[in-house]
Structure 1
Amino acid sequence: MTTKKIIQDFYKSEAFINVSEMEPYLHPEFILEWQSSKGFSKLDKQGVLDLTKELSASYVRSKIRILSLVQEKNQVAVRYSHFVKTVENPREEMLLAHFFVIWEVKDDKLYRGYQMSQIS
């Protein structure tokens, strides 16, 4: 599978709110460096799985709209918007945040991520 296809499949999946879907995408040595409007975070594989559990408690649906996707060797840059439906109001889709991330893929899994986000 190509690096670009791995990234596309990841964003089409329910991985953001489903730990069992998230886990297979993550390399054992996974690291995400994330600069958000709340500050800097560095998450390992377990940290992302814990975050996924938290998101699944609040959201019943997660949808990614990719705006740009560019590949160079084993890295893919993605600009996207993340939409969710909350447990309290599952009929209304709301914009959660805008993201830009550069993913490095190793052994067909997400290995390193460098991400920036801004809450809508």
Structure 2
Amino acid sequence: MMKPKDIVLELYKSDVLLDTNSVREIIHPEVLIDWNSSKGFIQMNYDDLLSLTNELAKAYIRSKIRISHIIQEGNLVSLRYSHFVKTIENPREEMLIGNFFVIWEVKNGKLFRGYQMSNFS
């Protein structure tokens, strides 16, 4: 059985956030994420996360996460990361989308409850 940290890391591998099938395998059917961004508060469920993945896949050809910190305590995993993408229009240039901090609760080997803060560049 995978450790909670390894399950969380599956979501943040290169290009996974652009692949609906991969995201579907990682998130719990009852997933809920509370997201405080520079644009306000959003709460997202399973369908919302898959829709976000579809939107990212339409806009970007590459997605790369650079993790600076990751800590696991029991079934909770916290990570701080920066999200970079490459656009269809400019595939040579890597662009920073934003900086993120998230705490994930893992349940039954899937991402179940998330609390995220972000600052977009």
**TM-score normalised to structure 2 length:** 0.96
Deviations 1:11-56 (A, max 9, x none): 1142211111111011011001000011100000000000110111
Counterpart Cα distance in 2 of 1:50 and 1:82: 18
Residues 27, 13 of structure 1: CA spacing in aligned structure 2 closer, same or farther, 3 A cutoff?
farther
Matched, 1:72 2:73: yes
8 Å Cα contact 1:83-1:95 kept in structure 2:
yes
Identity of matched residues, %: 53
Residues 21 and 13 (structure 1 numbering): CA distance in 2 closer, same or farther, change over 3 Å?
A: farther
Shift of 1:9: 2.2
Q: How big is each residue's C-alpha offset from its partner over 1:68-103, in whole Å with a ceiling of 9 and x where there is no partner?
A: 000100000000000000111111101110000000
| 2:101–2:116 contact (8 Å) kept in structure 1 | yes
The alignment's C-alpha RMSD in Å is: 0.8
Q: What code does the residue aligned with 2:82 have?
A: S
CA contact (8 A) 1:103 1:113 kept: yes
Amino acid at match of 1:75: L
The alignment partner of 2:12 has SS state of: helix
Aligned to 1:90, the other structure's residue is in SS state coil
In the TM superposition, what is the alpha-carbon distance from 1:117 to its structure 2 partner? 0.2
Long gaps (5+) in structure 2: none
**SS of structure 2 residue aligned to 1:7:** helix
Aligned residues: 120
**Scaled by the length of structure 1, what TM-score is found?**
0.97
Report which stretch shifted further, 84-93 or 6-15.
Answer: 6-15
